[in-house]
Chains A and B, each alone.
Chain A
Amino acid sequence: MADVTTHVDEVRTRRVTNAALGIRRSILQMAEVQGQGYVGQGLAVADVLAVLYFDRLRYRAEDPEWEDRDRLLLSIGHYALALYAALGEAGVLDKSELPTYGADDSRLPMSGMSTYTPGMEISGGSLGHGLGIGVGMALGLRHQGRNAHVYDYLSDGELDEGATWEAAMAAAHHRLGGLTAIVDVNALQADGPTANVLKTESVTEKWRAFGWAAHRVDGNDVPALLAAFDAAQREDEHTPRAIVCDTLVGRGIELLENREKAHFMRIDDDEWATCRTQLEERYAR
């Protein structure tokens, strides 16, 4: 039995890790077309997105509007680049469309818009909206007797917004076990390190105090992520869950991992080739 479990875990880990590499490749490709984009953040969340699309979410690639699908809300609309890469990997988007990212009349605008892109559940860009919408979706799906799960993907910066905590309280009050908040803690926001902008720690304790079952995990460690999502799933069915993921900006590319952290990460024209090479080298190990 133990051997079977280990084998299953290895298969899951391999599948997710391969998908994460594909996501990172697409992120680089799209960002290079524009010469910019939220590359650092995208690379940081590639592993979590791979877990979601290749281990967690129930969806139909050919029918993104399938009404019993699990919902992934990208509250962090500026991370759209990363989600497009994941949707490409998952087959919801055709990968050939990805290079239109950010171009006039593209279906892939720089900031996530539900009206533009299949698989983009909400229009983001204004931060702090996702969790409230997630509460409504989870309430609505439960009311309709459907057991689709709702995941809201938010950032540490969004913990500054009062609306996030209003929704968190509502979720606990309404006993929304069908709702999971994934919190990307990259310790960074627009004006600098989160610790200098507005102290948000201790993040896990805050979610617990609001009545959520909270787990904290290294968001770039695939086996640990799988275990955390599994553990969250085993929580009490009436308790909303938070999975706090610590991520490394620029993850997977040494040059970017070691660059001074900035909300807009600068990548010079002659650095893209190095980025590509370093990414392949990392995964070849």
Chain B
Amino acid sequence: MSDAKAKRATTSAMIASIADADQRRSAAPFGHALVALAEERSEVVGLSADLSKYTDMHVFAEAHPERFFQMGMAEQALFGAAAGMAEVGLVPFASTYSVFATRRAYDFLCLDSAEPGLNVNVVAALPGLTTGYGPSHQATEDVAILRGMPNLTIVDPCDAIDIAQAVPALADVPGPTYMRLLRGNVPVVLDEYDYRFALGAAAELRSGRDVILISSGLMTMRALEAAQRLAEDRVDAGVLHVATLKPLDLDTIGRLARGDRLVVTLENHTVIGGLGESIAAGLAFAGEPRNIVPIALPDEFLAAGALPTLHDRYGLSTDRVVERVKQALAA
């Protein structure tokens, strides 16, 4: 094929990187963090449903083969077994893709772990739009599915540092947790800021007079880039990183959303039932309703395609974020 090379740029392959070419990265931060935690806590175990290699769990499986349990491609049995292990006093981390954790196995997380309040930690790769492989693998509504589950803690880390610091914190939570995992070579961003992951606390990474960008997950990376670009146009944008989606730090959010700054939420998730709606509802319920510009995925089954193409098409790329903020400021 003479034109083979030219076409490769548009691959919709499942293994796509969210890192830009020039970004610093760290390999398998979750796997290494779990290994480190396991040295300190003998009750930590790992499970996967035929996806250890694709959720960075293989790092743990190689370091502690006797503490890793392969459940086969059976996500319901995965969560059932994780609950059983927690019942007898272990602290399981169970990994699969976000779509299968939420769409297929919900009931087995809800009744087996959340209701009894067990320490089961779900590690879910490919959250939101982090693969170009099409709707079967794009967990665009995982948070919407899970937010209504009582007792469940939900975290959406931004980078390798966030992930590494979240892992021990999740094990410390007595009840079940769900982490939206960035896997493989994960960008390193937050070490440039005065930041430490603290469960349930939103963190102001950057202050700004004109706009406040409230973001979670990889969109915090985009928010920080967008804020820098906006500064070049003399728009002063702050960034509030909300790594814990549930319980939501409404105190901090409410404080920073007050005043006349433009409030923008950014999430790697459908506009329905995620960060933006949680904040809008939370503020309104507290008697402090705000106008919010929601940057999120549309309420659609998304296309297959190359990830950069799709992030651009659906509004998650830094270019599109900057554009959207400028439009809102002009309006």
Binding site for B on A (CB under 8 A): 29, 32-36, 77, 99, 102-105, 109-111, 113, 116, 123-128, 157-158, 160-162, 189-191, 196-198, 264
B50:A35 contact, CB within 8 angstroms:
no
Stretch in B33-41, B132-140, B163-171, B190-198 touching the partner: B132-140
Q: Beyond A29-B1, A105-B303, is A34–B11 a contact (Cβ under 8 Å)? A: yes
**What separation, in Å, do the CA atoms of A196 and B71 have in the docked complex?**
10
A198:B4 contact, CB within 8 angstroms:
no
Residues of A within 8 A of B48 (CB): 191
How many residues of B are in contact with the other chain, CB < 8 A? 40
B7:A157 contact, CB within 8 angstroms:
no
B133:A110 contact, CB within 8 angstroms:
yes
**What separation, in Å, do the CA atoms of A198 and B52 have in the docked complex?**
13
Residues of B within 8 A of A110 (CB): 11-14, 133-134, 304
- A sample of 21 inter-chain contacts (CB < 8 A) reads A33-B3, A33-B4, A33-B8, A77-B136, A102-B10, A102-B11, A110-B11, A110-B14, A110-B134, A111-B137, A124-B136, A125-B136, A126-B103, A160-B72, A162-B77, A190-B54, A190-B73, A191-B70, A197-B72, A198-B50, A198-B70
**What separation, in Å, do the CA atoms of A35 and B70 have in the docked complex?**
30
A109:B134 contact, CB within 8 angstroms:
yes
B70:A99 contact, CB within 8 angstroms:
no
Judged by a CB distance under 8 angstroms, whether B63 is at the interface is: no
**What separation, in Å, do the CA atoms of A173 and B263 have in the docked complex?**
58
Binary contact track B55-86/A, C-beta < 8 Å → 1, others 0: 00010000000000011111011000000000
A34:B53 contact, CB within 8 angstroms:
no
Q: Beyond A102-B13, A125-B134, A191-B50, is A109–B304 a contact (Cβ under 8 Å)? A: yes
Judged by a CB distance under 8 angstroms, whether B205 is at the interface is: no
**What separation, in Å, do the CA atoms of A162 and B7 have in the docked complex?**
39
**What separation, in Å, do the CA atoms of A104 and B97 have in the docked complex?**
23
A159 CB → nearest B CB, Å: 9
Residues of A within 8 A of B135 (CB): 113, 123, 125
**What separation, in Å, do the CA atoms of A51 and B255 have in the docked complex?**
67
Contact of B13 among A36, A125, A127, A190 (CB under 8 A): A36
Residues of A within 8 A of B200 (CB): none
**What separation, in Å, do the CA atoms of A105 and B313 have in the docked complex?**
12
Residues of A within 8 A of B73 (CB): 127-128, 157-158, 160-161, 189-190, 197-198
Judged by a CB distance under 8 angstroms, whether B185 is at the interface is: no
B282 CB → nearest A CB, Å: 32
Judged by a CB distance under 8 angstroms, whether B309 is at the interface is: yes
B74:A161 contact, CB within 8 angstroms:
yes
Interface residues of B in 1-21 (CB under 8 A from A): 1, 3-4, 7-8, 10-15
**What separation, in Å, do the CA atoms of A125 and B4 have in the docked complex?**
25
Given A123-B135, A126-B99, A198-B72, 4 other A-B residues pairs in contact with their CB atoms under 8 A:
A103-B10, A109-B133, A111-B304, A158-B73
B309:A104 contact, CB within 8 angstroms:
yes
A109:B12 contact, CB within 8 angstroms:
yes
Residues of B within 8 A of A99 (CB): 1, 3, 7
Judged by a CB distance under 8 angstroms, whether B306 is at the interface is: yes
